[in-house]
Amino acid sequence: MDIRELERTTWPRQLLEIPQLPKKLWMRGTLPPEGHKLLTVVGSRAMTSYGQAACTSLITGLAGYPISIVSGLALGVDACAHKAALAAGLHTIAIPGSGLDDSVISPRTNSGLAKDILASGGALVSEQEPMHKPRLGEFPSRNRLMVGLSDAVLVVEAGPKSGTLITARLASEYNRDLLCIPHRIGDPHAFGPHLFLRLGAALVTEPLHLLEALRIPPVDSAQGKPFPSDLGDNERMVWGILEEPKTRDEILRGACGAAGDLLTALVALELRGLVKEEFGAWHRL
Protein backbone atom coordinates (compact mmCIF):
# COMPACT_ATOMS: atom_id res chain seq x y z
CA MET A 1 0.00 0.00 0.00
CA ASP A 2 1.40 3.37 -1.03
CA ILE A 3 3.07 5.68 1.49
CA ARG A 4 1.93 9.26 1.14
CA GLU A 5 2.74 12.51 2.86
CA LEU A 6 -0.30 14.11 4.43
CA GLU A 7 -1.06 17.75 3.73
CA ARG A 8 -1.36 19.61 7.02
CA THR A 9 -4.94 20.55 6.17
CA THR A 10 -5.81 16.84 6.33
CA TRP A 11 -4.13 16.11 9.67
CA PRO A 12 -6.44 14.93 12.48
CA ARG A 13 -7.76 17.91 14.40
CA GLN A 14 -6.43 16.73 17.77
CA LEU A 15 -2.87 16.54 16.50
CA LEU A 16 -2.87 20.20 15.49
CA GLU A 17 -3.44 21.13 19.16
CA ILE A 18 -0.08 19.90 20.50
CA PRO A 19 2.85 22.31 20.99
CA GLN A 20 5.54 20.24 19.23
CA LEU A 21 4.00 19.64 15.81
CA PRO A 22 5.83 17.24 13.50
CA LYS A 23 7.41 18.79 10.42
CA LYS A 24 5.90 16.11 8.20
CA LEU A 25 3.42 13.30 8.57
CA TRP A 26 3.43 10.13 6.49
CA MET A 27 0.62 7.61 6.25
CA ARG A 28 -0.40 4.28 4.78
CA GLY A 29 -4.01 3.17 4.84
CA THR A 30 -7.07 5.10 5.90
CA LEU A 31 -7.82 7.40 8.82
CA PRO A 32 -11.10 6.85 10.70
CA PRO A 33 -14.25 8.66 9.54
CA GLU A 34 -14.95 12.16 10.82
CA GLY A 35 -16.53 12.01 14.25
CA HIS A 36 -14.74 8.87 15.45
CA LYS A 37 -13.15 9.15 18.90
CA LEU A 38 -9.52 8.09 19.23
CA LEU A 39 -8.42 6.08 22.27
CA THR A 40 -4.67 5.68 22.71
CA VAL A 41 -3.67 2.51 24.58
CA VAL A 42 -0.20 2.27 26.13
CA GLY A 43 1.66 -0.02 28.50
CA SER A 44 4.49 -2.40 29.13
CA ARG A 45 6.22 -4.44 26.46
CA ALA A 46 6.54 -7.19 29.08
CA MET A 47 2.78 -7.54 29.43
CA THR A 48 1.34 -9.85 32.07
CA SER A 49 -1.53 -12.26 31.50
CA TYR A 50 -3.69 -9.98 33.66
CA GLY A 51 -2.84 -6.96 31.51
CA GLN A 52 -3.60 -8.92 28.35
CA ALA A 53 -6.97 -10.10 29.65
CA ALA A 54 -7.94 -6.63 30.86
CA CYS A 55 -6.84 -4.87 27.67
CA THR A 56 -8.61 -7.39 25.44
CA SER A 57 -11.81 -7.35 27.48
CA LEU A 58 -12.08 -3.56 27.59
CA ILE A 59 -11.44 -3.06 23.87
CA THR A 60 -13.74 -5.94 22.93
CA GLY A 61 -16.49 -4.16 24.84
CA LEU A 62 -16.19 -1.17 22.50
CA ALA A 63 -17.26 -3.17 19.43
CA GLY A 64 -19.81 -1.31 17.34
CA TYR A 65 -18.93 2.14 18.64
CA PRO A 66 -17.32 4.92 16.53
CA ILE A 67 -13.89 4.48 18.11
CA SER A 68 -10.40 4.03 16.70
CA ILE A 69 -7.69 2.42 18.84
CA VAL A 70 -4.29 4.13 18.62
CA SER A 71 -1.05 2.48 19.75
CA GLY A 72 2.59 2.10 18.85
CA LEU A 73 2.83 -1.35 17.22
CA ALA A 74 5.35 -2.39 19.89
CA LEU A 75 5.43 -5.75 21.63
CA GLY A 76 3.21 -6.31 24.65
CA VAL A 77 0.33 -3.96 25.32
CA ASP A 78 0.57 -2.14 21.96
CA ALA A 79 0.20 -5.32 19.94
CA CYS A 80 -2.54 -6.58 22.24
CA ALA A 81 -4.52 -3.36 21.73
CA HIS A 82 -4.23 -3.51 17.95
CA LYS A 83 -5.18 -7.20 17.83
CA ALA A 84 -8.16 -6.69 20.14
CA ALA A 85 -9.35 -3.80 17.97
CA LEU A 86 -9.07 -5.91 14.81
CA ALA A 87 -10.97 -8.79 16.46
CA ALA A 88 -13.71 -6.38 17.58
CA GLY A 89 -14.04 -4.81 14.13
CA LEU A 90 -12.73 -1.45 15.35
CA HIS A 91 -10.58 0.91 13.31
CA THR A 92 -6.99 1.06 14.57
CA ILE A 93 -4.00 3.33 13.96
CA ALA A 94 -0.41 2.17 14.54
CA ILE A 95 2.37 4.70 15.02
CA PRO A 96 5.69 2.81 14.83
CA GLY A 97 8.98 4.41 15.79
CA SER A 98 10.25 3.79 12.27
CA GLY A 99 9.36 4.88 8.78
CA LEU A 100 6.49 3.11 7.05
CA ASP A 101 8.27 1.10 4.36
CA ASP A 102 7.85 -2.64 4.84
CA SER A 103 11.63 -3.05 5.04
CA VAL A 104 11.96 -0.87 8.17
CA ILE A 105 8.69 -1.40 10.06
CA SER A 106 9.60 -1.99 13.70
CA PRO A 107 9.52 -4.33 15.49
CA ARG A 108 9.99 -6.86 12.70
CA THR A 109 7.96 -9.44 14.63
CA ASN A 110 4.90 -7.20 14.22
CA SER A 111 5.26 -6.56 10.49
CA GLY A 112 2.48 -9.07 9.90
CA LEU A 113 0.28 -7.18 12.35
CA ALA A 114 0.98 -3.97 10.43
CA LYS A 115 -0.25 -5.66 7.26
CA ASP A 116 -3.37 -6.88 9.06
CA ILE A 117 -4.10 -3.33 10.20
CA LEU A 118 -3.87 -2.05 6.64
CA ALA A 119 -5.96 -4.92 5.29
CA SER A 120 -8.70 -4.11 7.81
CA GLY A 121 -8.95 -0.47 6.69
CA GLY A 122 -6.76 0.93 9.45
CA ALA A 123 -3.73 3.18 9.17
CA LEU A 124 0.00 3.40 9.84
CA VAL A 125 1.24 6.91 10.67
CA SER A 126 4.76 8.27 11.23
CA GLU A 127 6.64 11.56 11.22
CA GLN A 128 9.76 9.73 10.02
CA GLU A 129 10.83 9.45 6.39
CA PRO A 130 9.55 6.20 4.82
CA MET A 131 12.94 4.41 4.94
CA HIS A 132 13.91 5.63 8.43
CA LYS A 133 15.16 2.92 10.78
CA PRO A 134 14.16 3.38 14.43
CA ARG A 135 16.54 4.70 17.08
CA LEU A 136 15.97 4.17 20.79
CA GLY A 137 16.05 7.86 21.69
CA GLU A 138 13.28 8.71 19.23
CA PHE A 139 10.50 6.75 20.91
CA PRO A 140 9.44 9.50 23.38
CA SER A 141 8.98 11.76 20.36
CA ARG A 142 6.81 9.10 18.71
CA ASN A 143 4.75 8.82 21.88
CA ARG A 144 3.79 12.50 21.74
CA LEU A 145 2.05 11.77 18.44
CA MET A 146 0.10 8.92 20.02
CA VAL A 147 -1.10 11.24 22.77
CA GLY A 148 -1.64 14.14 20.40
CA LEU A 149 -3.94 12.08 18.20
CA SER A 150 -6.04 10.89 21.11
CA ASP A 151 -9.20 12.01 22.84
CA ALA A 152 -8.14 9.92 25.86
CA VAL A 153 -5.17 7.76 26.91
CA LEU A 154 -5.55 4.36 28.60
CA VAL A 155 -2.62 3.03 30.65
CA VAL A 156 -2.76 -0.76 30.99
CA GLU A 157 0.54 -1.53 32.76
CA ALA A 158 3.74 0.38 33.52
CA GLY A 159 6.70 -0.43 35.75
CA PRO A 160 8.84 2.16 37.60
CA LYS A 161 11.19 2.64 34.62
CA SER A 162 8.65 2.25 31.84
CA GLY A 163 8.51 4.73 28.96
CA THR A 164 4.76 4.63 29.43
CA LEU A 165 5.21 7.01 32.37
CA ILE A 166 6.44 9.69 29.94
CA THR A 167 3.47 9.08 27.66
CA ALA A 168 1.04 9.36 30.57
CA ARG A 169 2.55 12.67 31.68
CA LEU A 170 2.13 13.99 28.14
CA ALA A 171 -1.59 13.28 28.43
CA SER A 172 -1.76 15.79 31.26
CA GLU A 173 0.31 18.35 29.36
CA TYR A 174 -1.88 18.00 26.27
CA ASN A 175 -5.11 18.11 28.29
CA ARG A 176 -6.16 14.56 27.42
CA ASP A 177 -8.15 12.39 29.80
CA LEU A 178 -5.85 9.85 31.44
CA LEU A 179 -7.41 6.47 32.27
CA CYS A 180 -5.81 3.63 34.24
CA ILE A 181 -6.57 -0.02 34.95
CA PRO A 182 -6.08 -1.03 38.62
CA HIS A 183 -3.76 -3.89 39.55
CA ARG A 184 -2.92 -6.00 42.58
CA ILE A 185 -1.07 -4.30 45.41
CA GLY A 186 2.64 -5.04 45.16
CA ASP A 187 2.62 -5.91 41.46
CA PRO A 188 5.53 -3.99 39.84
CA HIS A 189 3.40 -3.53 36.70
CA ALA A 190 0.96 -1.58 38.87
CA PHE A 191 3.43 1.22 39.60
CA GLY A 192 2.37 3.50 36.76
CA PRO A 193 -1.41 2.98 36.88
CA HIS A 194 -1.56 3.32 40.66
CA LEU A 195 0.70 6.39 40.65
CA PHE A 196 -1.52 8.20 38.18
CA LEU A 197 -4.71 7.07 39.89
CA ARG A 198 -3.44 8.74 43.06
CA LEU A 199 -2.74 11.87 41.04
CA GLY A 200 -6.29 12.01 39.71
CA ALA A 201 -6.47 9.73 36.66
CA ALA A 202 -9.81 8.01 36.03
CA LEU A 203 -10.12 4.40 37.13
CA VAL A 204 -11.29 1.99 34.41
CA THR A 205 -12.71 -1.46 35.12
CA GLU A 206 -15.27 -1.87 32.31
CA PRO A 207 -15.92 -0.63 28.75
CA LEU A 208 -18.62 1.75 30.04
CA HIS A 209 -15.91 3.78 31.78
CA LEU A 210 -14.11 4.20 28.44
CA LEU A 211 -17.32 5.32 26.75
CA GLU A 212 -17.88 7.87 29.51
CA ALA A 213 -14.37 9.28 29.05
CA LEU A 214 -14.86 9.48 25.29
CA ARG A 215 -18.31 11.05 25.78
CA ILE A 216 -20.08 8.39 23.77
CA PRO A 217 -23.60 7.45 24.94
CA PRO A 218 -23.70 3.71 25.69
CA VAL A 219 -26.17 1.44 23.93
CA ASP A 220 -28.01 -0.91 26.28
CA SER A 221 -27.32 -4.20 24.55
CA ALA A 222 -29.37 -6.13 27.08
CA GLN A 223 -32.49 -4.05 26.51
CA GLY A 224 -34.91 -5.90 24.29
CA LYS A 225 -32.70 -8.99 24.11
CA PRO A 226 -34.93 -12.02 23.56
CA PHE A 227 -35.22 -14.33 26.53
CA PRO A 228 -33.74 -17.74 25.69
CA SER A 229 -36.75 -19.98 25.39
CA ASP A 230 -35.23 -23.33 26.38
CA LEU A 231 -33.82 -22.50 29.81
CA GLY A 232 -34.67 -24.38 32.99
CA ASP A 233 -36.25 -22.60 35.94
CA ASN A 234 -32.96 -21.93 37.76
CA GLU A 235 -31.25 -20.85 34.55
CA ARG A 236 -34.11 -18.42 33.85
CA MET A 237 -33.78 -17.03 37.35
CA VAL A 238 -30.01 -16.47 37.02
CA TRP A 239 -30.43 -15.00 33.54
CA GLY A 240 -33.00 -12.51 34.87
CA ILE A 241 -30.74 -11.47 37.74
CA LEU A 242 -27.91 -10.75 35.28
CA GLU A 243 -29.75 -7.86 33.64
CA GLU A 244 -26.77 -6.02 35.15
CA PRO A 245 -23.37 -7.60 35.98
CA LYS A 246 -23.30 -9.33 39.37
CA THR A 247 -20.75 -11.18 41.47
CA ARG A 248 -21.42 -14.80 42.35
CA ASP A 249 -22.44 -13.84 45.90
CA GLU A 250 -24.85 -11.20 44.56
CA ILE A 251 -26.44 -13.81 42.29
CA LEU A 252 -26.92 -16.21 45.22
CA ARG A 253 -28.41 -13.46 47.39
CA GLY A 254 -30.77 -12.27 44.66
CA ALA A 255 -32.21 -15.66 43.68
CA CYS A 256 -34.50 -18.07 45.42
CA GLY A 257 -33.16 -21.59 45.53
CA ALA A 258 -30.38 -23.80 46.79
CA ALA A 259 -26.89 -22.42 46.24
CA GLY A 260 -25.75 -25.62 44.54
CA ASP A 261 -28.62 -25.54 42.04
CA LEU A 262 -28.01 -21.89 41.24
CA LEU A 263 -24.29 -22.43 40.70
CA THR A 264 -25.08 -25.38 38.43
CA ALA A 265 -27.41 -23.12 36.43
CA LEU A 266 -24.70 -20.47 36.20
CA VAL A 267 -22.20 -23.00 34.84
CA ALA A 268 -24.80 -24.25 32.35
CA LEU A 269 -25.35 -20.72 31.06
CA GLU A 270 -21.60 -20.25 30.74
CA LEU A 271 -21.18 -23.49 28.79
CA ARG A 272 -23.86 -22.33 26.36
CA GLY A 273 -22.00 -19.08 25.81
CA LEU A 274 -24.77 -16.97 27.35
CA VAL A 275 -22.86 -15.55 30.30
CA LYS A 276 -19.24 -14.90 31.21
CA GLU A 277 -17.23 -13.88 34.26
CA GLU A 278 -14.82 -10.94 33.91
CA PHE A 279 -13.02 -9.11 36.70
CA GLY A 280 -15.07 -10.96 39.33
CA ALA A 281 -18.52 -10.15 37.90
CA TRP A 282 -20.84 -12.28 35.74
CA HIS A 283 -22.64 -10.67 32.82
CA ARG A 284 -24.73 -11.63 29.80
CA LEU A 285 -23.11 -12.07 26.41
Answer for the pair 241, 252: CB distance below 8 angstroms, yes or no.
no
pLDDT value for 222: 44
Nearest CA to 27 out of 96, 100, 83 is that of 100
Mean pLDDT of the region 78-89: 93
pLDDT at 112 > cutoff 80:
yes
* DSSP letters spanning 88-120: TT-EEEE--SS-SSTTT-SSGGGHHHHHHHHHT
pLDDT value for 203: 94
pLDDT at 223 > cutoff 50:
no
Q: Which residues contact 137 (CB under 8 A, 6 or more apart)?
A: none
All structural domains of the chain, each given as residue ranges with its CATH number in brackets, are 4-214 (3.40.50.450), 233-284 (1.10.10.10)
Mean pLDDT of the region 107-132: 92
Percent of the chain past pLDDT 70, that is, above it, reads 94
pLDDT at 224 > cutoff 50:
no
Mean pLDDT of the region 49-62: 90
pLDDT value for 229: 59
Q: What average pLDDT does the chain have?
A: 87
Q: Distance (Å, rounded) from C-alpha 209 to C-alpha 193?
A: 15
Band of residue 1 on the pLDDT scale cut at 50, 70, 90 = low
Query: pLDDT by residue (tens digit) across 23-51?
Result: 999 999 999 988 899 999 999 888 898 89
- Give the least confident one: 107-111, 127-131, 137-141, 182-186: 137-141
pLDDT at 219 > cutoff 80:
no
Query: pLDDT by residue (tens digit) across 132-183?
Result: 987 776 677 788 999 999 999 999 998 887 778 888 888 888 999 999 999 9
Distances (CA, A) of 97 to 24, 88, 139: 14, 25, 6
Mean pLDDT of the region 58-87: 92
pLDDT at 18 > cutoff 50:
yes
Q: Distance (Å, rounded) from C-alpha 249 to C-alpha 276?
A: 15
